[in-house]
Amino acid sequence: MIVLVTGGAGYIGSVASSELVRAGHDVVVLDNLYQGHRAAVPEEAVFVEADLANRAQIDSILKEHRPEAIMHFAAYSLVGESMKSPFKYLGDNVSNALNLLESAVEHKVLKFILSSTANLFDDPEKMPIAETERIIPGSPYGESKAIVERFLYWLEKTHGLKYACLRYFNAAGAAPERGEDHAPELHLIPLVLQVALGQRDRIKMFGDDYDTPDGTCVRDYIHVLDLAQAHILALEGLDRGSQLYNLGNGQGYSVKQVIETAREITGHAIPAEVTPRRAGDPATLVASSWKIRESLGWKPQFPELEAIIKTAWEWHQNHPQGYNDR
């Protein structure tokens, strides 16, 4: 199958592109390299530097490469930034997705996988969080994904587009050749590992007085390779109909647990400092992935925190400056 991967030079998109190639698919990567890295794109993939804000570019790519399916990762994705720049997220994320979807429908590309978010669930009524949980986005970023999910719902009814939305929690870990390299870096595990590498003095813990076993926030981490496999299974399962899937490994780990595990793996003391809570941080977020496990047979290969951090540490040791392209 020919698959167009938007944002395929980014952290998750590049790993998904690599796994698609490994699974025998032909991959076309579309990325504007705003956040992505050219070196992260698999050699076997066709790379097109383009911007989803340019509808003519999208039309040209679909006409030339004739993909049979689209995986859509490209988006601004920083929750905190979206609170400061809501128009950037509610504007660009939504309008760019609309450009892509309009072009897809026009060119009869009627299989679509959306990289969505757990930020749809700002006030869950039950834990772990299932697909039936009410949608209350926690930020303009989350709202932008919710809007795109509704686009897909209506495009199935009006144009027969088949889709899957994958709402995942904290992507983490690394593939041997691809890992996290963000500027700025805001994710806990790479930040902790930067301390071990001597690139930061200490790691900040935002609050230690939450209603959790050790007082720090609990999150559900999912290995990026397991995440990529879920996207591929969802694509291959579209013949059964459109679906919504929540993705996590079903286990929550606290900030203190992440830091302590990183200390054990790296052999570094990793000084930590408790700072005030961040506004909007829920105490616990853990996914129920029962649906995708049962319907598609998805099973995480890296369910343990130790394995997730170990693969990330190996990548960061080998790439202390990331892709070294900034």
What whole-number distance in Å separates Cα of residue 261 and Cα of residue 111?
Answer: 40
Q: In the chain, what is the straight-line distance between the N-terminal and C-terminal CA atoms, in Å? A: 34
Element (H, E) at 192: helix 188-196
Active site residue 253: no
Cβ burial 86-121 (10 Å sphere, 16+ → b, else e): eebbbebbbebbebbbebbbeeebbbbbbbbbbbbb
H-assigned helices in the chain:
11-22, 55-65, 79-84, 86-87, 94-106, 140-159, 188-196, 224-236, 255-266, 290-296, 305-318
Q: What is the C-alpha separation between 111 and 108, in angstroms, rounded?
A: 9
Catalytic annotation, pick one of 11, 89, 141, 210: 141
CA–CA dist 156, 312 (Å, integer): 38
For residue 258, the surrounding DSSP H or E stretch is helix 255-266
In order of 78, 207, 208, 283, 313, the CA distances from 123 in angstroms are: 19, 19, 20, 11, 33
SS3 113: strand
φ/ψ (deg, to 5) at 311: -65, -35
- Helix, strand, coil percentages for the chain (3-state, nearest 5): 40, 20, 40
Phi (first) and psi of residue 220, to 5 degrees:
-100, 115
8 A C-beta contact, residue 52 and residue 96: yes
Q: At 129, which amino acid appears?
A: I
- For the annotated catalytic residues, the residue numbers are 141
